[in-house]
Amino acid sequence: MNAEIIAIGSELLTPFRTDTNSLYLTEKLNQLGVEVAFKTIVGDNREHLVSTAKLALSRSEIMIFMGGLGPTEDDLTREAVAEAMGLTLHRDPEIVAALEAWFAKRNSKMSANNAKQGDVITGAVVLHNPKGTAPGQWIAGKYGAHEKIVILLPGPPHELKTMFDQECAERLRAKLPPLFIATRVLKVAMMGESACDARVAPIYKEYADVQTTILAGAGEIELHLRARCDDLDEAQQRVDDLAGELEEELDDSVFSTNGESLDQIAGYYLQMRGATVAVAESCTGGLVAERLTSVPGSSRYFVGGMVVYSNELKAKLADVPPLLIEQYGAVSREVAAALAEGVRDRCNSSIGIGITGVAGPTGGSPEKPVGLVFHAIADEDGTDVVERHYPGDRQRVRRFASQQALDMIRRKLM
* Structural domains in the chain (count): 3
Q: Which residues of 22-60 are buried (b: 16+ CB within 10 A; e: fewer)?
A: beebbebbbebbbbbeebbbbbbeeeebbebbeebbeeb
Domain that holds residue 159: 2-175
pLDDT at 61 over 90: yes
Q: Name residue 298's amino acid.
A: S
Q: How many residues are listed for the chain in this entry?
A: 414
Look at residues 114, 142, 175 and tell me which one is the last residue of a structural domain: 175
Res 298 pLDDT > 90: yes
Question: Where does the pLDDT of residue 67 fall: very low under 50, low under 70, confident under 90, or very high at 90 and above?
Answer: very high
Task: Identify the burial level of 299 via C-beta atoms within 10 angstroms of its C-beta, where 0-12 means exposed, 13-18 middle and 19 or more buried.
Answer: exposed
Q: Tell me the pLDDT band of 144, cut-offs 50, 70 and 90.
A: confident
pLDDT over threshold 90, residue 230 = no
Residue 12 belongs to a domain with what CATH number? 3.40.980.10
Same domain, 227 and 303: no
| Same domain assignment for residues 220 and 166 | no
Q: Cα separation of 321 and 414, whole Å?
A: 32
- pLDDT category, 365, cuts 50, 70, 90? very high
> How far is the C-alpha of 366 from the C-alpha of 360, rounded, in Å?
13
Query: What is the H or E stretch that residue 264 is in?
Result: helix 262-272
pLDDT, position 30: 86
Residues 150 and 208 in one domain: no
Dist. CA 63–CA 3, nearest whole Å = 6
Interval 142-166 mean pLDDT: 95
Is the domain of 158 the same as that of 16? yes
pLDDT of residue 368: 96
- Considering the domain architecture, whether residues 235 and 305 belong to the same structural domain is answered as no
Instruction: Provide DSSP, 305-352.
Output: EEE--SHHHHHHHH---HHHHHHH-SSSHHHHHHHHHHHHHHHT-SEE
| CATH number, position 237 | 3.30.70.2860
Rounded to whole angstroms, the Cα distance separating 152 from 223 reads 33
Residue 85: is it exposed, middle or buried by C-beta count within 10 angstroms (0-12/13-18/19+)?
Answer: buried
pLDDT band of 62, cuts 50, 70, 90 = very high
Contact 199, 192 (CB under 8 A): no
42 and 152 fall within a common domain = yes
User: Taking the model in full, what pTM does it have?
Assistant: 0.74
Instruction: Quick: pLDDT tens for 307-345.
Output: 999 999 999 999 999 999 999 999 999 999 999 999 999
Q: How confident is the model at residue 381 (pLDDT cuts 50, 70, 90)?
A: very high
Residues 128 and 33 in one domain: yes
State the amino acid at position 22 in one-letter form. S
Is the pLDDT at 178 greater than 80, yes or no?
no
pLDDT given at position 19: 94
Confidence of residue 232 (pLDDT cuts 50, 70, 90): confident
* pLDDT number for residue 352: 98
Structure confidence by residue, pLDDT tens digits, 367-378: 999 999 999 999
* Claim to verify: residue 169 and residue 289 sit in the same structural domain: no
Q: At 84, give phi and psi (nearest 5°).
A: -65, -35
Mean pLDDT of 233-240: 95
42 and 149 in a single domain? The answer is yes
Does the structure show a pLDDT above 80 at 245?
Answer: yes
HSE value, Cβ hemisphere, 13 Å, CA-based, for 287? 21
Final residue belonging to a domain, choices 256, 274, 295: 256
3 state DSSP class of 191: coil
Residue 32 has pLDDT above 90, yes or no: no
pLDDT on residue 300: 97
Query: What is the pLDDT, as a whole number, of residue 322?
Result: 97
Interhelix angle 193-204/232-250, rounded to 10 degrees, is 130
Query: What pLDDT, on a 0 to 100 scale, did the predictor assign at position 112?
Result: 94
The yes-or-no verdict on residue 145 having pLDDT over 90 is no
Strands 146-153 and 62-66: parallel
- Cβ burial of 129 (10 Å; 0-12, 13-18, 19+) is buried
Cα end-to-end span (Å), the chain: 44
Examine the fold and report which residue of 143, 175, 207 is the final residue of a domain before the chain moves on. Answer: 175
Same structural domain for residues 212 and 321?
no
pLDDT of residue 273: 97
Identify the pLDDT of residue 246.
98
CB contact set of 295 (below 8 Å; sequence gap of 6+): 263, 264, 267
Residues 36 and 138 occupy one common structural domain:
yes
pLDDT at 276: 98
Residue 287 has what pLDDT?
98
Q: What is the pLDDT of residue 251?
A: 96
Comparing CA positions, the residue from 30, 74, 72, 76 lying closest to residue 49 is 76
- pLDDT average, residue stretch 51-58: 97
Check residue 153 and give its pLDDT: 98
Query: Coil, helix or strand for 212?
Result: strand
Same domain, 148 and 35: yes
